[in-house]
Chains A and B, each alone.
Chain A
């Protein structure tokens, strides 16, 4: 007899077979590791130290050259990993629970609760996050903390929509009806019967959210309301815009863009692979009807 596998195990086996997805996963893991090492001070990066002349070209000593103050660009790009990952992580951590709870309540109970929650997220999603960020920057002061809050409270809407839609779909399923008929309460039905089925989709959306938070940070820092005083990729690209045109200094721009490009690409490939492996329609395509 074959070994019995749950749907999740099946999906993960399939995911494991996807080489591209596994490479992406390794890249994501490497970024997370770097971020953790810097965060816990196990990796102490001399981001403010002057190591050479202004605008040294890339060399073996400094792979990505130096910036205007003679600081090593490569070290600053690596430090940017920590900033980006922390923004991605904390934004997701704020947005996903809000999205799940509100989406589940709206989708499961429907009626007035649904109307109210839909009203809330319609309102939230109509606020441009740039505007909210500018407002928050005024109140809380510019900096990474404002970025967390602004991105967190605006980006739960997407997850909430998805979760609400899935709950509406699943609450009509026969096994949910069966649970009702058994006398199971709403909490049991939400957590035992519906949420586990929605979870894969939440993971996929959370990982996309992670990416969009990273991208949002770059844009915010570029226009000057993002991270202050620390080398984030947005700041570096912002600094590089004049150097690139005026002096042909490409390395700072190249370093920050590549670092961002790689992680965004890895996340996108990984989310797509995740979606494919969890989607029953795609994974069963080989089955005969």
Chain B
């Protein structure tokens, strides 16, 4: 197992006013557990505010988790010293949603891709230049990009630069935080295909975070669906998309607009808004919007348990058939 996340929690304290009651913390990630194997892609899906990005950042220790444990390559990430942390960061990298804002506008593309090598004192300047040239090739950018600046490139090309930077240290795990959401449709497919090809070639593992279930399904081996800081369903990608068990996953899949006129499924449009993660509803957090909620759901909190082989669902009314 490359990555094991257990009972991960991240609460953001909120500032309270001088005279008001102390504000409740925002439970961005609330008791999440999942694993990721070598050369596997785990898709983390959910709507805004469900905590998927925070979970990714906790794994990289870009934010400090409130509780839980994260093991990477059999090492406890939360027990590392800052020196060890710098060392382990070589093996985990991140790709961002907004390709342009993830690149320093005042550095050349060559400088951006070379930086990780400088930070970790890899090779002589000449060797580094060669490495950068090879990385440009790998992500499909021309060598002429080297001395140019990010603002001269399109969104898709900037994303390629971001990927080249992430690959520079030859990581094992890449956390991709909505890597194609800001791109044009025809460019999305290019980046997805590039990421799949790189995964095969360099035997990478991805934690692929996105709100777009169709993209996630395409690239992932397994999918975890999050709602209000909790994982509601996790299992193999095809099974989740073709036969969702949790009512939330079912509804989500039914309303994904598809570019075709032959829809078989009936739409289940969820009513109401996503509740605030500072005040999640009692019992099952989804009961306020769930089309099949019963009285029991308001009182008892479901736990994520295996209901089919390899598939875990957190719903009181999904029967166990293992």
Give chain A's interface residues, CB within 8 Å of chain B.
1, 4-8, 173-175, 177-185, 188, 192-193, 196-197
Q: How far is the CB of A276 from the nearest CB of chain B, in Å?
A: 18
For A182, give its contact among B103, B106, B116 (CB under 8 Å): B116
* Stretch in contact with the other chain, from B93-101, B190-198, B220-228, B308-316: B93-101
> How far apart are A199's CB and chain B's nearest CB, in angstroms?
9
CB pair A177 B90 closer than 8 Å: no
For A179, the closest partner residue in chain B by CB is B115
B144:A188 contact, CB within 8 angstroms: no
In chain B, what residue has the closest Cβ to A180? B62
Residue contact B101 to A173, C-beta cutoff 8 Å:
yes
Q: What is the CA–CA distance of A39 and B60 in the complex, to the nearest angstrom?
A: 57
Q: Is the interface of A mostly helix, strand, loop or mixed?
A: helix
Q: Which of B86, B103, B149, B152 lies in contact with A183, CB distance below 8 A?
A: B86
With contact pairs A7-B151, A174-B96, A178-B165 given, residues A184 and B119 touching in the complex (Cβ less than 8 Å): yes
- Please tell me if B147 contacts chain A, counting CB pairs below 8 Å: yes
Q: Chain B residues near A1: list those with CB within 8 A.
A: 144
**Given A7-B105, A196-B106: A184 touches B115 (CB 8 Å cut-off):** yes
Specify which of A6, A175, A177, A185 lies most central, judged by the most chain B CB atoms within 10 Å of its CB: A175
What are 9 contact pairs spanning A and B, CB under 8 A? A7-B151, A8-B106, A177-B62, A177-B102, A182-B116, A182-B165, A183-B116, A183-B120, A184-B115
A-side contacts of B106, CB under 8 Å = 6-8, 196-197
With a CB–CB cut-off of 8 A, which chain A residues contact B183?
Answer: none
Contacts of A4 in B (CB 8 A): 147-149, 152
| Cα separation A14 to B108 with both chains bound (whole Å) | 20
How many B residues touch A, CB cutoff 8 Å? Answer: 35
Determine how close the nearest CB of chain A comes to the CB of B55; give it in whole angstroms.
15
Binary per-residue interface labels of chain B (6-21) against chain A in the complex, 1 for a CB within 8 Å, 0 otherwise: 0000000000000000
Which residue of chain B lies nearest to A1 when distances are taken between CB atoms in the complex? B144
Contact in complex: B89, A182 (CB < 8 Å):
yes
Q: Tell whether, in the assembled complex, residue A178 and residue B102 are in contact, meaning their CB atoms are under 8 Å apart.
A: yes
**Which of B85, B107, B108 has its CB near the most chain A CB atoms (within 10 A)?**
B107
Q: Is the CB of A175 within 8 A of B101?
A: yes
Does B78 touch A at the CB level, under 8 Å? Answer: no
Complex CA–CA separation, A5 to B102 (angstroms) = 19
**B97 neighbours in A (Cβ, 8 Å):** 174
> From residue B60, how far is it (CB to closest CB) to chain A in Å?
5
Given contacts A179-B115, A182-B115, 19 further A-B contacts (CB under 8 A): A1-B144, A6-B108, A7-B106, A173-B101, A175-B103, A178-B165, A181-B60, A181-B94, A182-B89, A182-B116, A182-B120, A182-B169, A183-B89, A185-B119, A188-B119, A192-B107, A192-B115, A196-B106, A197-B106
> Distance in Å from the Cβ of B89 to the closest Cβ of chain A?
4
5 A-B pairs with the lowest CB-CB distances in the bound complex, closest first: A174-B102, A183-B86, A183-B89, A4-B148, A174-B96
Bound CA span A179–B99, Å: 14
Q: A175-B102, A178-B165 are in contact. Are A183 and B144 (CB under 8 A)?
A: no
Measured between C-beta atoms, what is the minimum distance from B12 to chain A in Å?
A: 14
Q: Give Cα distance in the complex from A8 to B151, angstroms.
A: 12
List residues of chain B with CB within 8 A of the CB of A181: 60, 62, 89, 92-94
Most buried by B among A6, A181, A188, A192: A181
Q: State A197–B147 Cα separation when bound (angstroms).
A: 19
The reply to whether B115 and A197 contact each other, CB–CB distance below 8 Å, is no
Is there an interface contact between A175 and B104, defined as CB atoms closer than 8 Å? yes
CB distance from B288 to the nearest CB of A (A): 31
Contact of A193 among B92, B104, B108, B149 (CB under 8 A): B104
A7 to B94, CA, bound (A): 26
Residues of B within 8 A of A192 (CB): 104, 107, 115
Contact, CB under 8 Å: A6 / B149: yes
Chain B positions 244-266 with a Cβ under 8 Å from a chain A Cβ: none
Nearest-neighbour CB distance to chain B for A106, whole angstroms, equals 18
Q: Residues of B contacting A6 with CB < 8 Å?
A: 106, 108, 149
Residue of B nearest to A184 (CB): B119
Shortest distance between the CB of B59 and any CB in chain A (Å): 11
Q: Are B94 and A5 in contact (CB under 8 A)?
A: no
- Name the residue on A nearest B96 (C-beta): A174
CA distance A175 to B97 in the complex (A): 11
- Shortest Cβ gap from B45 to chain A (Å): 21
Residues of the A chain whose Cβ atoms lie less than 8 Å from the Cβ of B149: 4-7
Q: How far is the CA of A5 from the CA of B120 in the complex (A)?
A: 29
Q: Are B96 and A178 in contact (CB under 8 A)?
A: yes
Interface residues of B in 121-151 (CB under 8 A from A): 144, 147-149, 151
Contact A174 B98 (CB under 8 A): yes
Q: Which residues of B contact A193 (CB under 8 A)?
A: 104
Chain A residues with Cβ below 8 Å from B62 are 177, 180-181
Q: Which of A1, A4, A6, A178 has the most CB of B within 10 A?
A: A178
B97 to A: closest C-beta gap in Å? 8
> Min CB distance, B156 to chain A, in Å?
17
Which residues of A have CB within 8 Å of B120? 182-183
Q: A residues within 8 A CB of B85?
A: 183
User: Which residues of A lie under 8 Å from residue B107 when comparing CB positions?
Assistant: 192
Measured between C-beta atoms, what is the minimum distance from A202 to chain B in Å? 14
Residues of chain B contacted by A180 (CB below 8 angstroms): 62
Interface-centre pick from B93, B97, B144, B151 (highest chain A CB count, 10 A): B151
Chain B minimum-CB-distance residue to A5: B149
> What is the CB-to-nearest-CB distance from A175 to chain B, in angstroms, rounded to a whole number?
5
Q: What sequence of 0s and 1s flags, for each residue 64-102 of chain B, a beta carbon within 8 Å of any chain A beta carbon? A: 000000000000000000000111011011101110011
